[in-house]
Each structure stands twice: as structure tokens, then as C-alpha cells.
Structure 1
């Protein structure tokens, strides 16, 4: 069920938070795929659920989210747990002495922390493959095991499989929107800095952002408010009549699967029939981002190398995923001059992108150019792994480089009946408008209206 659906039952007394927490923990324990979570917080969850139950029975609800289960990507500190970041080299680290700021914020709204979810090691892949804690299988697949998408792999699968109604992830190049699209759920990447990053293990601080993976945009709006310390959401639906949307004709459709394009275009047609005004135009800025990366190196790789330099030079490197090691070491090639050139170009392109959009205009395109591919070929062929990883990250990483916000919404299916994502993106700090539009457009994008 959605967060909103569960909230109705909890607030009315039809469902007790303790029963809900127990049901979630039991379903996780009995689920066929045991690689989704790195740790279950059984005792904490039941304790928090009992407190929620007492509040609700005595009429002291903390709000709409009181008693709602939530899972945390294993990058967020939760007191008493080791933050592994999906890596074996951190498994023996000291437990966190305090919760991350956003963990505290959602606890303050009455949410119940169920567990910590698996991810690509050090959050450095868009595929979700993890050799240390296992690779969660995409629950939408009906033929062969397929990737969950990364790096918030366990978070996406936990929601898609119905184990929890919401999980919190991080997004540096698409790590919320990618698993959301691959698994057929909603993923909201907020503008960097909308929420506190205190006690969240980083990948690239100039790109890292946070957000929820959930079943509906309404759920994302409620979680967004709580993560910002609000007692209630202040986002309102907008009128779709006259809504201005633009489809880029640069980069985002390159090598796209026909089934993905067909599902996206069908959703565009439904939006137009609902009154939205849709334009198509070239965005040379998008191509320039990748030209800069080819010339100077990737910003994420440079910052990841700086973060892990000592680790890569010591014995820990042998205990890491060799693909993560290889990709991180590419950052060593980025000189100080290169890094400054990337940073300068980034600010120039952010300004140019802002100027290129009309007031209130949002960008739309397929979240990903393909549906979730099978796992086995990616494990067998490193060259294929890196090729597919790059293609998977391509569309979403544009939004991170331009420091914007985005919501991926399911819009149908493509090859093998796998989910396709529709990405709505806005400028930096345009989150309220983005969520307002997404609230109104979701049913149309999904084909439910």
C-alpha cells in the first residue's frame, strides 16, 4: 500500500503500528530475495511502533506519517548500526553514535525505521550489482533475474516488492531515479541541499542529493515535508491546462529502446490531451556536458577518487568490487586544472540552461533509454558492465550536473514487460513547482486518468 493509504488506516485506528511493523519485518524475513537489506532493525522498529501506537490511541498523533515504516539506504547513520556503504571494508567499522539528521527528522514525524537497504558499493554504480551483500533482483522481471538499478538498489526493490511503503535513497548521478524507473515506482531526487547531508556517507559532495522512493507522488510530497522538518506538506496540485513542457532532442533518446520511446510518447500524448503544451527542441548544453567529461574527466569520478584515495593505495582495495576500484581510479587522471575547468563550465552551463527555459517550464524525457537488463551477462563481461552502466546513468546524470531536481514516474512497460520511467525535471530549487506538477500529472502519465 501507499504511505497515504496506510496513513488512513493508522490514523483511524483500523490498523495498529505494531501490527504493521511486525507484518513488514515478517514479510522481509520470508521474502525469497535476502539481498535487499543489509540489516533489519527489529527491536528498534517494534519499540518505535509501540510508541506510535500509544500516541495514536491517546489522540496525540505526530501527523500523517505516524507509524509508517521506512527503510534507509545503508549510507545513512542510524544509531547503533554500522554504516557499511555496501562495502565489506566498512563492515567492521564502529557503529554510529547518533542518527543522521534526516533520520532524526522522520523519527520526529513518527515514522518507524525498519531496516537498512543494500546498494552498489560506495554508491558508485547505476546498476545495483553488489558482490559483497548480494544483488537484489528486480521484482518486475518474469523471465530472468534482472538488475534493480543503483545505487539505491535495495531501496527501490524494497518498495517495489511491497516490503516497505517508502525507502530513502541518495542520488549523485541518478541513484534514486534509476531504481525507481527500473522497478516501476516513484523516485524523487531533490535539489542538492534541500535536506541536510549530515551523517550521510558521501560519494561526490558537489553532486550528492537525497530523496524518497515510494509508490506515489503524494507519498513523496509527504516525505519531503517531514525531511524538511515540516509538520504537514505545503505542496498543492497545479492546473495542467497550459502547463509548459519541453522534450529535449539532444542525447536523451540516443540508443533508446523502441518500447521505451513508445511508452514515453503515449504518456506525452495523454498530457497534451489534458491541456499541457509540449515543445521539442535541441539542447546543445546536454551534449556539451559529455564533451567536457571526455576532455577533463567526470566530476563524480574525481571527487570519488579524492574520497577513497587512501583506501585505493592500501590493502582495502583488494577487498573492494574490482569494477568500483577501476572506475574510481579513473579520477586520478583528473588534474587540479581539469577539476577547476569542470567546475567553471558547470556554473556556466547551469546559467545557460536556466536562460534556455521559459518561466515554469519543465523538461520531460524517458528516465532511462532501456529497461532493466539481465544480471548474468553484466557479471560475465566487465566491458559490457561499464558500457551499460554509462548508458544507464546518462540521462539522469544531466540533472545532477545542472544541479536540478527530478521525479521519475512509471509510464508503462517496454521490452519483456519491464517498467519504463517518465522523468519530469526542474531547475535548481524549483522543487515545489516540480512536485506540484507531478502531483497533478501522475495519473495521466501512468495512464490511470
Structure 2
């Protein structure tokens, strides 16, 4: 668990996550606190250019160029359209850097699991975003900030419900591992459930 990554979450989410870790330790789980540089380097690259944007544009270009594009949500359409200017050389460079970071993450994690908040904040209210595209873009970026790391590194991840806030909105923790350890993630998730460290309905 990397404390600097947890600090990227809202106070509400971070406090719930750390309280959940305390609960796991009380139940006998060993929690290791360490800096995982591959996560920070991945986040830095993502902030420069999100690889998924280029991939999404390539996948949906035929739709964007068709008359059906008018049926797309305007915000989704705008995000996809912005990616058309990403150079192929940039995309290739990101693939190369991702491969290096995947190897580094594998070395840093070994056979351990990575725990972090799934999303940096609880679900926002639709009414606050429906008619404000600028605010939508800001909140959307905050929502995806932590999940993008795992997506970029292509690591298997499972979300675990760990708490509900006073408004009964869910807070989750993600459990990730290097590629090939999907079964281990599921096994540990079952163990955590049996220990009673899942948050059930409020």
C-alpha cells in the first residue's frame, strides 16, 4: 500500500480506506506500506497523455465519421474527437514506456497484492453535472484518476466494498496484482469476505 497514492483521494475516502486497513490488520492480515514507483511514473505519463484516448478514437473513428455521431453524448464525442490529433509516435512511445513500467511493477509487487482506494471520491450528484460540461470534465478526470493507473498497466483488479458514507454512498478498495495472479486476487477477496471485512448494504 502506497500512502502517497491514498493521499490522492478525498479525505472521506482516504479515512475510510485507512480504517479498513486497520480492520484487516486487526483480523491478522499483514499490510506493507511502501512507495511503489511504477504507480507514480504511470500517473505522470497519464497526466501527460492518456493512451486510452488514442485507442478509443481508433476503435470508434468510423462512428465519429458517420451520421450516427450526432447521437453520441456531446461530452463523450468531444473527448473522443480530441484524441484524433495524438501522433502515432506518441502512442508508440507510450506503449514502450508502459511495457517498462509493467516490468517494474512486477518487480516491486512480486507476489503481493496492491491495495488502494478504487475511486478518489464518492459518486457525485447527477444534477450538479448535467448542465455544466466544464465541471463534468473536472469530476470525470477525478473519478478516473486512480482507476486509470491499473488500466494503463493492464493489471487484474477487483473492487471491494469497504464502507458507506452518511449519505449511504459506497466507498470501495481495489485489490490488484501483477498479470497472471487473477486467481490469487479472487482467493484473497473470498478470505476478506469470510473475515467480515466487506461493507454490506447500509
TM-score by length of 1: 0.42
Give the deviation of 1:345 after TM superposition: 0.5
Give the deviation of 1:314 after TM superposition: 3.3
Aligned length: 199
**1:309 has 2:61 as partner:** yes
The separation in 2 between residues aligned to 1:376 and 1:291, in whole angstroms, is 32
Render the CA deviation track for 1:392-414: whole Å, top value 9, x for unaligned: 11112211211111111111112
**1:299 has 2:48 as partner:** no
Of 118, 124, 127, the residue aligned with 1:373 is: 124
SS of aligned partner of 2:120? coil
Relative distance call for 1:266 and 1:447 in structure 2 (3 A) is farther
In structure 2, the residue matched to 1:262 is 15
**1:363 has 2:117 as partner:** no
1:252–1:395 contact (8 Å) kept in structure 2: no
Relative distance call for 1:257 and 1:290 in structure 2 (3 A) is closer
Note the residue ranges of structure 2 that are not aligned, 5 or more in a row.
none
Paired residues for 1:280-295 under 5 Å: 280-295=33-48
Relative distance call for 1:252 and 1:328 in structure 2 (3 A) is farther
More helix by share: 2
Of 149, 153, 156, the residue aligned with 1:405 is: 156
Paired residues for 1:20-39 under 5 Å: none
The separation in 1 between residues aligned to 2:24 and 2:172, in whole angstroms, is 15
Paired residues for 1:170-249 under 5 Å: 247-249=1-3
1:298–1:331 contact (8 Å) kept in structure 2: no
The separation in 2 between residues aligned to 1:337 and 1:309, in whole angstroms, is 19
Give the deviation of 1:258 after TM superposition: 2.4
4+ runs deviating over 6 angstroms: none
Bigger relative contact order, structure 1 or 2 (CA pairs below 8 A, ≥6 apart): 2
Relative distance call for 1:398 and 1:427 in structure 2 (3 A) is same
Render the CA deviation track for 1:312-339: whole Å, top value 9, x for unaligned: 2332222211111111112112111001
Render the CA deviation track for 1:10-61: whole Å, top value 9, x for unaligned: xxxxxxxxxxxxxxxxxxxxxxxxxxxxxxxxxxxxxxxxxxxxxxxxxxxx
2:164–2:199 contact (8 Å) kept in structure 1: no
Of 269, 272, 290, the residue aligned with 2:25 is: 272
RMSD: 1.8
Greater C-alpha Rg: 1
SS of aligned partner of 1:417? coil
Of 251, 264, 272, the residue aligned with 2:5 is: 251
Relative distance call for 1:414 and 1:447 in structure 2 (3 A) is closer
Relative distance call for 1:291 and 1:422 in structure 2 (3 A) is closer
1:411–1:420 contact (8 Å) kept in structure 2: yes
Give the deviation of 1:438 after TM superposition: 0.8
